[in-house]
Amino acid sequence: MKKVLFTSHTANFAKFNRPFIQDLRKQGYIVHYASADDESIEGVDRHIIINFARSPLRLDKHLKAYRALRPLLETEQYDLIHTHTPSGSVVTRLAVKSLPKKPPLLYTAHGFHFYRGAPLLNWLLFYPIEKWLARDTDMLLTINHEDETLAKKSFHTGAIERLDGVGVDLAKFHSIEQIKKSQLRRKMGYQDDDFILIYVAELNKNKDQKFIIENARKLAKVIPHLKILLIGEGAWHGKLEQLVAKRELEQTIEFLGYRKDLDILYQMSDIVISASRREGLGLSVIEGMACGLPAVIRNNRGHREIISNEKTGYLFRNGTEFQNAIIDLYKNPTKRRKIGQAATKSVERFSLEKARAKMQQVYRQFLEK
């Protein structure tokens, strides 16, 4: 019976692969997952603990992870390996590279750290490594056009495919009627006249919730019942809460932590927002758009992949553009509904159904030889 191994530096990342893992197991394949032990992974035949480091500078941890992974690969003799996340993928590809008999190796790049406008250090650190390891990658999967174009121009790899993300369950994330929206708001403790912005992301420097907080006061002066919901956990939680308190925005900005009811939170909101500086695609934005929300999101390569500016949302480059977009949508509810409807239609290409079909096609190329 053929065996497939998935790897990523964190176990939490397995949630994005869960549908593809389910499909492989239904087809009779054995599936293992190697990652750190930050949480358990369900739905696999075996979870192997390999403590990949997130930071590219932790060479000691990378060496330790390599020494744990290398004998596993030789013992298990996997028929296919699919690796994710930058540091986990570097260690995985180095380990595969050293094998006397190499199994097919797929690498999904969920947004290269080098891109137009990226810091020079990112290009100096990440680009040479990715270019070198691409030679030993049988298929490189990208999730946006900029990464795909760069890879095809600069990398010598087996094959390059572009995916429309990991897929959004449109049966779960969908728009609802206004009466249902009102019911959800009352159930969740909000009012019909609240104007709700929702931002789902890890609380960290890259996701830049600080930008949202710094612009909230001016928005609140125009929008009397403004509510900004920050969903997620992260290293910046305490720092951001202090900033909210310092600016006396506790009645406007709410930290809701990690949530499993994102569909309900999107459906009761008015606009989905993101201030992320670097984004491979932006799954949370797509989920919000699927629920009928216009998107107001920072102009970066991943976000440009998602929306048509002023048709399904707004791209902003600074605080003034962010504020103007939010206020425009607040003052023009008919326009907001029209853009929201267009947003829902536009994200159908990111459906989980299409993502599963694409990945099944990819896996067949290597497992049915």
194-212 pLDDT per residue, tens: 999 999 999 999 999 999 9
Q: Which long-range contacts (CB under 8 A, 24 or more apart) does 14-21 make?
A: 14/41, 14/44, 16/84, 16/166, 16/283, 17/82, 17/84, 17/166, 18/43, 19/167, 19/352, 19/355, 19/356, 20/356, 20/359, 20/360, 20/363
Q: State if pTM tops 0.85.
A: yes
Instruction: With beta carbons less than 8 A apart as the criterion, state whether 196 and 163 touch.
Output: no
Q: Which long-range contacts (CB under 8 A, 24 or more apart) does 309-314 make?
A: 310/339, 311/339, 311/342, 312/339, 312/342, 312/343, 312/346, 313/289, 313/339, 313/343
- pLDDT band for position 54 (cuts 50, 70, 90): confident
Say how far apart CA 369 and CA 366 lie, in whole Å: 6
Confidence at residue 53, expressed as pLDDT on a 0 to 100 scale:
85
Say how far apart CA 165 and CA 359 lie, in whole Å: 11
- pLDDT band for position 117 (cuts 50, 70, 90): confident
Q: Average pLDDT of 335-358?
A: 97
- pLDDT band for position 38 (cuts 50, 70, 90): confident
Mean pLDDT of the chain: 95
- pLDDT band for position 331 (cuts 50, 70, 90): very high
Residue in the block written with tokens 């991943």: 302
